Structure formats: structure tokens, C-alpha cells
Structure 1
């Protein structure tokens, strides 16, 4: 620990011996640094805050979600710093007075893009717009006014973009969709005409809709259904024929005593047997039938016959069943003939099914595209009406562009203090380097270590009264020069604050 203290004292002694060198270097560095700080132009920043509300009661009903509204807001924020908008800012503010040509205009647009900031707050509807401007050729007041003009023009452009961009974009989108719909409509009509011509030529003979294979399958299914219906109708007709054969055409008259005649009684007995399920080969039925034939040959058993109503009803039902059978047979024959003809055409022209599938596919693709574009057009039109009629974009200036009264940069008081610290550090460093470069032994311990021999003693410096007075005078000069350096720094800081107040 004692060695470290001795080493520190040696260093301090070396610095003290070279204090005038350190002070001179500090003055030089501080004067150069303070001059550089003075040459830095003041930058003035103007800020504004705007409120943009994109919510609407009707937007969700027509498919405008909050995410889409936020995307629109982000797009507007990004396009605010476009080259066209920045060119308007230059030409419509005092910056136009300093433009000397296209190259200078491009340079100012590039500088504007670097100094303009558009930032959304935690609430995405709140947007801060700020601009910083510094030009060494202009006064502080001119730079402050230009920064305010830049922000004001950006706010105006932002408001114009919010109010007009949606209408322009909607009209352009509708015009484009109208052109596309007209073109798709022509293509759809041509595809539909080709499809109709094909159906009339080939598939029109078969019932149903769809491809040729589907229609042929539908025809086969209908033939199967007709066959089952035909079997049922033929069975019903056969039963009706049998019932008609066992029903007399006329009913015999009644006798004078009011009792039925023998022929009527015989026919009633025969009908009763058949009703009980007796067949024609049954002995009782055969005997009853002979009895009826015998009585008919004898003149009807003494009474005149009358038309049988049951016979007439059964005959009518028989005719209806026969017509049904005939109609089903004709329909089956027609379907079978058409099916055979189509199968023959498929055999002769195997590409018919593929041709119809291609026509149907082209038609469905065009129809799907047309319907989607039509729906998109209607949605865009409705969304445009909602935004224009309900005023969905609400724009309000919360904080107007401010006129800065103090420079935003540079922070001269801090820079002046920093230069002072840097100058003092440079002076101390120079003195330390000079002490290290000069040879010698500052104390007896170093000499003893260097020579490897024992040092008996050392003689300190002796001064007389005149030398002591001169040393005191030099100390006063050194203190005055050091204090002057600090006082000059303080004076420059005071002047900076005074200038800010005057600005």
C-alpha cells in the first residue's frame, strides 16, 4: 500500500512540475471545441398530434373489420412521407425560397425524409407528426418558422389524403371491375352458347341434366322404374280381366211373384262359388256353369235381362289399366331407343363425354369468376357508400403544429461542459506523457532500484526568499488562468441561455 501511495505522489509531482503545459493544452482544446460547438446550427422541432377515428357502426356489417381499417391507417401514414408529398412541402413553404434547381430540390426532399417522424401512440388513432429543421444560412427564427410550416403542410396533406383517397380508390376499383365484368360476361355468354348447342345436338334426346354419362344413368334408372310399374300394371290388368270374365253383362228380370228367376239364381250361385275361391275346374263350379248355360239356352228362365252395373264398372277399370300398360310400354320403348342411339353415338364418337365435360368445366369456371367479381363490385360499392355517407373517417387536430421557442438540438450547455472536461483531460494527459518520456529519478528509491546499490541519502530543493516570492507569483498566475478557463465556460453557458430567451 505504501508503494502505491509513493507511486501516486510521484505522478502528481510530475504533473505539478508540468502544470503550465497541461493548462496550455487545456486552453487550446477548450477554445477549439467551444468554437466548433458555436458553429453547430440550432435545430428547431415542431410537433403536432392528430386524431383519426376509422370506426363506424356500419363497417362491420359490410365486411370492413378493425384490422382492415388499421391497415388503411398504416398505409396513409407510410405514404405521407412520399416523394410527391415532400415535394409539395418544399414548394408550398418558405423552403421554396432557398431552392436553386432540381438538384437542390432533391437534396431538400432527402433531408426532409430524414427529419420527419410520423409515429402512432398506444392508441393507434392518435398520431404524432414532427419535423426538425436546421440551416446555418438562416436565422433561428426562420428555422423555427420553417419547422412549423413543414408540420402544418404535412397535417394538411394527411387530412386531404384521409378525405379523398377512399373515394378515388373506390371509383378506380369500380371502373376496373366494370371492365372485367363486361369481358367476363362476353366469355360466359359464348361458353353458355357452346354448351347449349352441344346439348341440342347430342344430349337433348335424354332426360335430366348433367353430362352424357349422368343422363344415360338417369335414363337407365327411369327404365328400371318403368319396368317395375309396368309389371304391376300388367298384373292389375290380368286380375281385372279375370274379374270381368266372371261378371255377367246383364242381370235377368224378376218373376211375377217377385222371386228371382232360375237363371238369376243359378248365376248368383256360380258367382258365390267363385267368390269363395273355387276354380273353374271345381266340380261344383262345372255343374253350376252347365246349369247357367242350360237356362240361357231355354230363354233366360222366363225373365228379361237388364245391364249389369258391376260389369260396366269393371269394364271401365279394365280400359284404364290397359291404357296405363300401353303408356308405360311406349315410354319404355322411347327411352330404350334414345338410350341405344346415344350409346351408338358414344361408340362412334368416343370424345363426346370428354367434350361435354370440357364445356361444362369452362362454363363453371367462368361463371364462378363472374359471380365472385360481381359480389366484389357490390361489396366495394357498398363500402364506399358507407365511408362517404356516414363519415367513417373522423379527423381532428388535437395539438396544432407548435412554433418552437428553444432549439431541440444541439444541447450547447452540455456540450460546453463536455468540451471543458475534455480539455482538462487532454492537458493532464499531455503532462503525464511528458513526465513519462523525460528521464530521471524522482526519488532515492527509484535510483536505488535502478543502480542496484544502496543510496546513503538525498538532498531536497532549497529556495531563497526571492525564489519563494517568484513561485508565489506564478501560483497566482496559474490560479487566474485556471479560473479564467472555468469562468469562460460559465460565461458561454449564460450567453446560450440568453440567446434562447431572445429567440
Structure 2
């Protein structure tokens, strides 16, 4: 412990003997440090809060919703500090002189981009901070410029949003019109190619819509239905034939004489009346009911002729039940015939298309390709038309109303004290650094010099015993000289501290002048 105490005393003595060096180094470090701090311009911060509300009367697309609104708000936040807006801010606030070059504009925009921060507080509320510290301006001008930058930025942003929305709608309509014209031209070319291809391959492809494969599938599906209906119709016809086989054509009516022929003629008249009624309803001769009824009328005419020829002297009359069954059978025969004809037609179409595909596979593939190209172009044209109408409506809405409302929640603050640098703290740190630097230089110099402050230290260094030491004898003249130099040392140290206090006072007075 005594050794450590002795070392401390020795170090303190080494520094004290070089006290003028300590004072000189402290003055040098403090002067340089305080000059460096004085060259740093004060930075003043101004803050404002904005509420950005999207008045979306017409949705942007089918996926519009909270996610689309958030994306649009993020886009607004990015465009708030765009280079175009910041250049206008620099011109408005006087940071850029009239006729400034591109290099000066780029420098001003880069400085503003670095010193303007946009921080989202909530989903659609932003805090904007501008930090301005221009060395060529006074503190009052920097403080005024910090709030003026935010005022100008908010004004420019509002104007750009209003003008930009309308410009975007007009540019969007122009672009969509050009795209629609291209699609219409391409559609016309594809239609011409398809018509020329159909005319060239008239015997190989059907004139109906759809590809050959699609037409074959549709024909097979219809053929299945026809076969089911034909089987049912053939079953009904077989049942009618069975019933007719077990039903007599005539019945014996006692005392009737030969008037049976009147029944066939009555049925014939009723059938003809029904045919006239069907034609009056607009049914053509190709209708299945008309075909069946005409077949029934032909049968009834034959029966009426036979009854008229066999005429007058029999007692038998035509069986009404047999005549009804005969008419029913004629109707079912007509249905079977129509279904069989349609089945044969569908089978022939399937065979024809299949044969054409086998013999000319490239024709069908090319035709399908042309149809696919036409379908794709038509879908694109319809989609572009819908988008154009939507853009037009949004443009009208933005013209009549504010699509994006920017509300100033908190106006830009007027800074009264610099945000950076913290000069009182830096001045104090420089003072302590100067004193510490002086002490450190004096102590280091004492370690380098080969001198010994005590006899014990000399004895340890030399390894030889030290008999004794002679104490310094101070004369009155030397004592007075030392006292005078001590006063000078105190004056120099006090002057350094006084300069530090004066700088602090000047700093606070300057802040008060800004306020």
C-alpha cells in the first residue's frame, strides 16, 4: 500500500513539475476543440402530423379492400418525399436560387431526402420531421427554414395528389385506348384468317362453332340421348302393335245395316280439324306431332274409302278402340322414324369429322389454334374494355371530389432550441479532455525522461545502495519567483475556465435570441 501511495506521489510530482506544459496543452486542446464545435451549425427540428384518408368511391379493382388501401397509403408515403416534390420544396423555400444547375438541384434534393423523415404512427397517420442545419444561415433562419420546409412539403404534396390523380386517369385512358385499338386490330386479323381457313378447308371442317373435338363430344352426347329416346319409342311402338293384334278391327252392331262407314269419316273429319288447329298454332309439317297426325289421316282415309266401297249391306262397324290404337301406332311410328333419322345424321357427322381428322390431322389442329387465339384476344379485349370504363369513372370521381384527403392534425412546430449538437455538453467534454490531455502529456514525458524523484526509486533502478539525499534549499528570492509563477499559473487556469463559462453563456443567450 505504501508503494502504491509513493507511486501516486511520484506521478503527481512529475505532473506538477511540468505544470506549464499541462496548462499549454490544455489551452491548445480546448481552443481547437471549441473552434471545431463552433464550426458545427446548429440543427433545428420541426415536426408535423398528417392524416391521409382515401375516399374510395369507385374501387380500384376487384381485389380492393384493406390490403389495397394499405398498399396505396404506403405508396403515398413513398411519394411524399419524392425527388420531384423535394425539388419544388427547395425552390419554394429559397434553398435553390433562380437558374440553379442540375448539380445544385441534385445536392439540395439529396440534403432534403437525408434530413426529412416520415414515420408511420398508425395505419394512415404519419409524423414528418425536418432537420435543418445550413452553415451559411443563422440559427433563427435555420429554425424558420425547418418549419418552412414542412409547410411547403405538405402544400406541394396536396397539389401533386390532386393533379397527379387526374393526370394518371387521363394517361391511363390514353394507354387503354391504344391497347384496345391493338386488340381490335389483332381480332380483325384473326377473324380474317379464320374465315379464309374455313373457306379453304370447307370440306374438312364444320361450319359450326367450336373445335372438331368439341363438336364430336357434343354430337356423341346428343347421340346418347337420342338412343335412349329411340329405345323408349321402339318399346312404346311394340306395345301398341301388341294391343292392335289383340283388338278386332270391326264389331258387329245388330240392326245397324251398312252405316258403319260413317264412323271412319267422322274420325277423319276430327283428325283434319285437329291438323288445321295445329297449323293455326304455327306448327310446321316437320313437327313430330304434325307428321304423326298426317300419317293417321292417311290411314283414316284408306279406311273410309274401304267402308264406302263395301257400303250398304253389312252389320259390322269399325271398332273405335282399334281406330284409336291405329292412330297411336302411327304417331309412335313417326316418332321412331324421326329419332332414327336424327341418329343416322349424328352418326354420319361423327364419322365425317373423325375421318377428316384422321386424314388431315394438321387442319383440325390449326383450326383449334386459330380459335384459341381468337378466344384469348377476345377475352383480353373485354377485360381492357372493363378496365377502361373503371378508369374513366375513377377519373370523373377525382375530378368532382377529392379521392385522397390530406388533413393536417398538428401543424409544423416552430423550433426554439437546436436539436443538435448539444453544445454545453460538448464544451464541457472538451474542457475535461484538455485538462486530461495536458496531464497525460506531462505524465508521459516524465516516464520518458531518465530522472528519479526519490532515493528509493534511484536505488531500485541502479541496484546500488543510496547513502542519502540532499533536500532542495529555496532562497527567499526563488520563493518569491515561484509564488509569482504560481499566480500566473492560476491566472492562466482561471482564464481557461472563464473562457469556458463565457462560451456557455453565449450559447444560452443565442438560444434565447432564437426563441
* TM band (smaller chain): 0.7 to 0.9
The equivalent residue for 2:368 is 357
Structure 1: distance between partners of 2:251 and 2:175: 88
Go from structure 1 to structure 2 and tell me whether the alpha carbon gap of 1:139 and 1:314 turns closer, same or farther (over 3 Å shift). Answer: closer
1:251–1:305: 8 Å Cα contact kept in structure 2? yes
Q: Secondary structure at the match of 2:450?
A: coil
Structure 2: distance between partners of 1:231 and 1:96: 94
Q: Secondary structure at the match of 1:94?
A: coil
Q: Secondary structure at the match of 2:29?
A: helix
Larger radius of gyration: 1
Go from structure 1 to structure 2 and tell me whether the alpha carbon gap of 1:486 and 1:171 turns closer, same or farther (over 3 Å shift). Answer: same
Shift of 1:52: 1.6
Shift of 1:156: 0.9
Shift of 1:494: 0.6
Q: Secondary structure at the match of 1:358?
A: helix
1:206–1:215: 8 Å Cα contact kept in structure 2? no
Structure 2: distance between partners of 1:224 and 1:77: 64
1:253–1:303: 8 Å Cα contact kept in structure 2? no
Gaps (5+ residues) in structure 1?
A: 257-298
Go from structure 1 to structure 2 and tell me whether the alpha carbon gap of 1:491 and 1:193 turns closer, same or farther (over 3 Å shift). Answer: same
Q: Secondary structure at the match of 2:367?
A: helix
Structure 2: distance between partners of 1:98 and 1:212: 73
Structure 2: distance between partners of 1:228 and 1:61: 49
Go from structure 1 to structure 2 and tell me whether the alpha carbon gap of 1:437 and 1:251 turns closer, same or farther (over 3 Å shift). Answer: closer
The number of residues matched between the two structures is: 459
Go from structure 1 to structure 2 and tell me whether the alpha carbon gap of 1:434 and 1:240 turns closer, same or farther (over 3 Å shift). Answer: closer
Structure 1: distance between partners of 2:74 and 2:230: 74
Q: Secondary structure at the match of 1:128?
A: strand
The equivalent residue for 1:316 is 327
| Residue 434 (structure 1) aligned to one of 442, 445, 449 | 445
Shift of 1:97: 4.2
The equivalent residue for 1:501 is 512
Go from structure 1 to structure 2 and tell me whether the alpha carbon gap of 1:255 and 1:32 turns closer, same or farther (over 3 Å shift). Answer: closer
Structure 2: distance between partners of 1:199 and 1:351: 14
Cα deviation per residue 1:336-365 (whole Å; 9 max; x = unaligned)?
443443344334323233233223322332
1:47–1:401: 8 Å Cα contact kept in structure 2? yes
The equivalent residue for 1:13 is 13
- Asked whether 1:164 is paired with 2:163, we answer yes
Q: Identify which range, 416-425 or 186-195, moves more after superposition.
A: 186-195
Structure 2: distance between partners of 1:61 and 1:98: 44
The equivalent residue for 1:252 is 252
Cα deviation per residue 1:31-72 (whole Å; 9 max; x = unaligned)?
233233333333333333322223668759964323322332
The equivalent residue for 2:455 is 444
Structure 1: distance between partners of 2:351 and 2:198: 17
2:147–2:413: 8 Å Cα contact kept in structure 1? yes
Q: Secondary structure at the match of 2:407?
A: strand
Structure 2: distance between partners of 1:106 and 1:206: 66
- Asked whether 1:467 is paired with 2:478, we answer yes
Cα deviation per residue 1:303-343 (whole Å; 9 max; x = unaligned)?
63333323322332333233233333333333344344334
Matches within 5 A, 1:453-492: 453-492=464-503
Matches within 5 A, 1:31-430: 31-54=31-54, 63-97=63-97, 101-122=101-122, 124-136=124-136, 138-188=137-187, 190-191=189-190, 201=202, 210-220=210-220, 222-223=222-223, 226=226, 229-230=229-230, 233-234=233-234, 236-237=236-237, 240-241=240-241, 243-244=243-244, 247-254=247-254, 304-381=315-392, 391-430=402-441
Shift of 1:227: 5.1
Go from structure 1 to structure 2 and tell me whether the alpha carbon gap of 1:21 and 1:368 turns closer, same or farther (over 3 Å shift). Answer: same
Go from structure 1 to structure 2 and tell me whether the alpha carbon gap of 1:368 and 1:16 turns closer, same or farther (over 3 Å shift). Answer: same
Q: Secondary structure at the match of 1:351?
A: helix
Gaps (5+ residues) in structure 2?
A: 257-309
Q: For the aligned residues, what is the CA RMSD?
A: 3.6
